[in-house]
Each structure stands twice: as C-alpha cells, then as structure tokens.
Amino acid sequence: MTMLMKSYRGLGLMVELNWDRIIYVFAISVSLLAGLYIGSL
C-alpha cells in the first residue's frame, strides 16, 4: 500500500510539473484532427 501511495504521489508530482507540456500535446492533437477533418470535406 505504501508503494502505491508513493508511486501515486510521484505521478501527481510529474503531472504538476509538466502540465503545460500535456496541454501542448493535447492542443497539437486536436489541431491535427481538425485539419484532417477539414481536409476530408
């Protein structure tokens, strides 16, 4: 159980430190999908 809590805190810290990079990846993915959709019309 303590290992699970440590890994969860570590994952939370990684997300907290890199949240802007996650948003960038999400924004790029959405823009690529929008481009594919518009290109297929």
- For residue 12, the SS3 value is helix
Residue 36 Cα distances to 3, 13, 23, 24, 25, angstroms: 43, 34, 20, 18, 17
Query: What pLDDT score was predicted for residue 7?
Result: 64
Distance from C-alpha of 36 to C-alpha of 30, rounded to nearest angstrom: 10
pLDDT averaged over consecutive 10-residue blocks of the chain (41 residues)?
60 76 91 96 88
